[in-house]
Each structure stands twice: as structure tokens, then as C-alpha cells.
Structure 1
Amino acid sequence: MMATLSQTKELFRRAEAVCFDVDSTVIKEEGIDELAKFCGVGDAVTEMTRKAMGGSMTFKTALTERLSIIRCSREQVNKLITDHPPQLTPGIRELVDREYAGFDESQPTAESGGKGKVISMLKEQNGFKTVVMIGDGATDLEACPPASAFIGFGGNVVRQQVKERSSWYVTSFGELLKELE
């Protein structure tokens, strides 16, 4: 059963950990779409991303298909990052300025259900009782449960399914900061 708006806000205020999606949440861009545009196959990959984020195919299937279309080299990735560095979503720096535990690249977040697995591991390994997930896509929404609550984020891209299924849907990190004051 999904938490109510007031329950979600309370869980957010007292969360022991908050997990953020990165693409279209922490950063403005959808990284794989930017890479595809840079490599000249943007339209095909953007359509596949829309299907994946809308929940019509598994994340892993969509990721595999998108990468097979892009077929880029490490040099292309490095050039993209150098020429067009990702842009942080306004307000994220202030929101995470309080505490930041880090990012572990060896975690299973590159597969369907991976975010939920990471949240379960966080709870198990650290004894966290309250973990909140914030994100813009279907794979973020799937992480609740095991996340105690999910906050939908539409500051860069509004995904209707996520908006409709979120008990708390925000369009700026300022709304989250305000809740913590």
C-alpha cells in the first residue's frame, strides 16, 4: 500500500537514507540520450528511452537495445563529457549539501529491479528502517517497496505514469528543501 502525502513527507523528514535517480533527476539530461545524439543516433534511442521510462519494457532490455544502437567508443564518451558536461538540476546541490554518502558503481542498478535491490541492501547492511527513493521514471517507482516511500520528481521531465502513481510529486528540489526546514 502506498503511503499518503503526509506519511511520505514524514518519512522523508526522518529518513535515514535518501536515494536519488541520476538522469533527469540529479542532472537535467538523460545521459544515454545525450550520448546517442552525440553519436548521431538520437531519435531512435530517445524513443526507446521513452518506452523504458514509461514502463512498457524492462530497463535491462531497453538499456541493451539502446547501447546496441549507439555502439560508441570510450573516446566518444570522454569527448561528450568534456564537451558537454552534465548539468545539475537546480537545487540538488543545496539539498544534498547536508550529507552525502557517495555512489558505488559496483551496485546492481543497471538491471530491472536493481534500485530496489540496492535499497534492500542499504536497509540490511546499515540497519536503516526508513529509506526514501526520489526519481522520475518507472524503474525508480518500482523501488518502493522496499523503499519506505517514493517521491516522484518532474523538474526536468514529467512522466505521467510516475506523476499519477506518486503520493508526493515535486517539480523542484526547493519543495524538498522546504519540507526539511
Structure 2
Amino acid sequence: MSTVGLDIPLARSSLLTCDCICFDVDSTVITEEGINVLADFLGKGEEVSAWTANAMGGNVKFEDALEARLGLIKPSKPSILTCLQKHPFQLSPGVQTFIQTLHSKSVDVWLVSGGFRIMIEPIAAVLNIPKSNILANNILHNEAGEYIGFDPEEPTSRDLGKRAALEHIKSLKGHENIVMIGDGATDAQAKPPASAFIGYGGVQDREKVRGKADWFVYDFEEATKILEERK
């Protein structure tokens, strides 16, 4: 199964004319939920996974789920770095080619995530996305590297945060046609200001998200083919 069409003409025209595409990271750019991987590594996987599922399904406010999950695992900076070293993330099939094609077409690419900057920066480096094009949450540590909280000023730390993040990008860069791609309810909330929302179900197929998507894809191959038509 490749795609489910709800408004394919809109999604197609958006891909052909967009000046910016924003990607969710967990279960979209990569095949896992970063916070779940970290929780498993720290022995809190089951409890945290339940909170993640509720947040991504739109059943609980994102900020409540974020605070609860971080409170359960209290990740120190050394533990995060060790987790990343022992469990490098895997890119979703076809996403690297899709992003390379976006770059070749001079489309501005951003990673907009409710995950954590410290875990996303290595992924961005592989995809040739600058750190300045990441909007994500910052975990706060003291001088000893112990967990002390998270930055509540980041737009992605709260409900409707991705909408606020895209509004920031739009005002910062002057983009007129932004497309949001992701697997969760928080990604669907980004339209508007996104002109189109493309749901991704290659890792998690969520019925609520599928119902809100202009186009729902299970891989990035067809999107890449459309993008290749751009002049």
C-alpha cells in the first residue's frame, strides 16, 4: 500500500509549488519514537510508551504528556549521549532521497519535533539540514549533567506547538506555501499555517491522523516522484 488520497490534487500542487517543507521526526523521518527509545534504555519503556501513544493520538495535551514522560525517566546528559551511541536511529525508507530531492529543488527543509534537540541534531547532520532549521524541545541539565527539566518557551513543548512553530518559520523566512509531513495529531494541527498536511503511516498508521490528512502516504517514493516534476 502506498498512498491514501483525500485531496491528492491539493497535496500534489503543494509539493510542486511549496517553498518550505516541515517534517516531524519521530516515526516519520526515523522509524522510532526517540523518547520511547530513551525510556527503554533507562528501564521506563512501558510507562512512557503509553503516554506517547496518547499524545500522538490526540488523547491528551502534548505538554502534559511531555512533562509526565520526562518526569518518569529524568534523563541525564551522559545517559542520553550513551543511548544515542548504543542505539543510533534508523531513517525511514526513502526519506533521505526525498529530502535530497527537496534540497536539489531549493525547497527549505525544517525538522519540527516534539522530541529533543540533543537527539535530533545527529539526524539533521546526516540529512544535511542545518541546526538552525530545527525547532524541537530542549532538555535542561545542571552543570553535573543531571536532569532539571525542559524549556517551556519552546513552541513544540505544548499543545498547538507545531502550528506556532510554522508561524514562526513563516514570519522568519517569508514562506508562502509550507507543507507539513508527520504521523501524529500534533502534526495535523499545523494546518493552517501549512497549506497542506501530508500524513505519514509507514511506522504508525493512526486513523485520526489519516482522517485529517490531505494525503496519507506509507512511503516517500511517490512524493519524490511528484517532486521530481518541479522545474
Length-normalised TM-score, structure 2: 0.73
CA contact (8 A) 2:198 2:217 kept: yes
Distance 1:142 1:8 in 2: 16
Distance 2:171 2:21 in 1: 15
Q: Does 1:162 align with 2:221?
A: no
- Is 1:37 the counterpart of 2:36? The answer is no
Q: By how many angstroms is 1:120 displaced?
A: 1.2
Residue 10 of structure 2: SS of its match in structure 1? Answer: helix
- Residues 35-55 of structure 1 show CA distances to partners (whole Å, capped at 9, x for unaligned) of 111111111111111100010
- Mark the runs of 5 or more structure 1 residues left unpaired by the alignment: none
Runs (4+) of structure 1 exceeding 6 A deviation are: none
Quick check: 1:21 aligned with 2:24? yes
- Determine if the alignment matches structure 1 residue 61 to structure 2 residue 64: yes
The one-letter code sitting in structure 1 at the alignment partner of 2:134 is D
What is the number of residues matched between the two proteins?
A: 179
Q: Is structure 2 residue 74 aligned with structure 1 residue 71? A: yes
Partner of 1:174: 221
Q: How does 1:128-143 map to 2 (within 5 A)?
A: 128-143=175-190
Q: Following the alignment from structure 2 to structure 1, what is the Cα–Cα distance between the partners of residues 8 and 224? A: 16
How many angstroms does 1:72 deviate by? 2.0
Q: 3-state DSSP class of the match of 2:155?
A: coil
- Could you tell me which residue of structure 2 aligns to residue 92 of structure 1? 95
Q: TM-score, normalised by structure 1?
A: 0.93
Q: What is the Cα deviation at residue 11 of structure 1?
A: 1.0
**Which has the larger share of strand?**
2
Distance 2:100 2:195 in 1: 22
Give per-residue Cα distances to partners, 1:134-177, cap 9 Å, x unaligned: 00001000001111110000111111110122120000011210
How far residue 29 of structure 1 moved from its aligned partner, in angstroms, is 0.8
Counting aligned pairs with the same residue, the percent is 40
